[in-house]
């Protein structure tokens, strides 16, 4: 470990091999940091932080701050960060409450400056959270989602995989997989073709996803009717089943279609 003599590191904190800690960083007692991490000056790593390998935490980020939840009563909980994740300046990741006991940010994620991950959020892998985007409590975000800068995400919202959400969006409904979301108020604007191409989706997969969402959003059907059509008109596949299961399990309801369609 290489650390500045000006850093404040509790002697019982568990810190891995080849970790660099800058001056005026603070690391409390109940902290675990994996190998090959870089903790910059003035970063604050509080009790309950569990940080994986190869992570970079920039100045003034705060990991495992107590939840901003009036129901919190000081219970033990954690904030877990996966491997290869970058946390930029002034990001805050609060630890969990009795509801889930933990807040989780997965591996290979990028949390840009001033973003906030509230208590009991669950973020999977390969996610990008844009500058100043704010996630309220118990939000769930699936793999490869991109939430652009300045977004506000209501508590309990679920954002599925491979989505792209326009900057400045206010998100109060669940966002189904593979979609491109934008405008004000937010609506379905198509599928995230660029993201899918970058991740190796074939033409056949892209066309299937497009066709399923045409059934959902452009045939004048309500959700129940559209789901029945999707089940009967399309053979089982990973893409079809992910869309179906996400919509069926939504308790908040999904984002609406564009009025232009």
The pLDDT tens digits of the residues spanning 144-170 come to 999 999 999 999 999 999 999 999 999
> How many residues in total does the chain contain?
261
- Across 54-82, average pLDDT: 97
- Across 61-88, average pLDDT: 97
- 79 — phi, psi (to 5°)? -125, 115
Residues 6+ apart with CB under 8 A from 145: 124, 127, 128, 159, 160, 161, 162, 163, 164, 165, 175
According to the model, what pLDDT value does residue 259 have? 53
Q: Residue 188: helix, strand or coil by DSSP?
A: strand
Q: Residue 242: helix, strand or coil by DSSP?
A: helix
According to the model, what pLDDT value does residue 261 have? 46
3-state secondary structure 124-187: CCCCEECCCCEECCCCEECCCCEECCCCEECCCCEECCCCEECCCCEECCEECCCEEEECCCCE
The pair of structure tokens assigned to 125 is: 């892998």
- What pTM does this model have? 0.95
According to the model, what pLDDT value does residue 32 have? 98
Q: Is residue 113 pLDDT above 60, yes or no?
A: yes
- Across 172-188, average pLDDT: 96
Beta-carbon count within 10 A of 207 CB? 10
Active site positions, annotated:
119-120, 137
Q: With beta carbons less than 8 A apart as the criterion, state whether 143 and 159 touch.
A: no
């Amino acid at each position: 470990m290489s650390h500045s003599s000006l850093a404040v590191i509790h002697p019982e904190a568990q810190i891995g091999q080849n970790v660099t800690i800058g001056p005026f960083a603070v690391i409390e007692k109940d902290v675990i940091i994996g190998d090959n991490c870089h903790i910059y000056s003035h970063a604050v790593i509080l009790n309950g932080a569990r940080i994986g390998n190869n992570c970079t935490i920039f100045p003034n980020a705060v990991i495992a701050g107590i939840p901003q939840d009036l129901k919190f009563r000081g219970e033990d909980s954690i904030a877990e960060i996966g491997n290869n994740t970058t946390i930029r300046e002034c990001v805050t990741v609060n630890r969990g409450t009795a509801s889930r006991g933990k807040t989780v940010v997965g591996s290979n994620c990028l949390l840009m400056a001033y973003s906030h991950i509230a208590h009991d959020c669950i973020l999977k892998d390969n996610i990008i959270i844009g500058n100043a985007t704010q996630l309220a409590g118990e939000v769930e975000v699936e793999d490869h989602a991109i939430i652009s800068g300045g977004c506000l995400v209501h508590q309990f919202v679920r954002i599925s995989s491979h989505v792209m959400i326009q900057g400045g969006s206010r998100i109060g409904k669940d966002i189904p997989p593979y979609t491109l979301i934008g405008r004000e108020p937010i609506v379905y604007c198509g599928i995230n073709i660029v993201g899918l191409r970058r991740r190796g989706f074939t033409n056949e997969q892209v066309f299937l996803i497009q066709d399923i969402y045409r059934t959902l959003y452009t045939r004048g059907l309500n959700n129940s009717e559209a789901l029945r059509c999707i089940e009967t008109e399309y053979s089982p596949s990973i893409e079809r089943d992910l869309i179906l299961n996400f919509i069926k399990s939504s308790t908040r309801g999904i984002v609406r279609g564009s009025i232009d369609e």
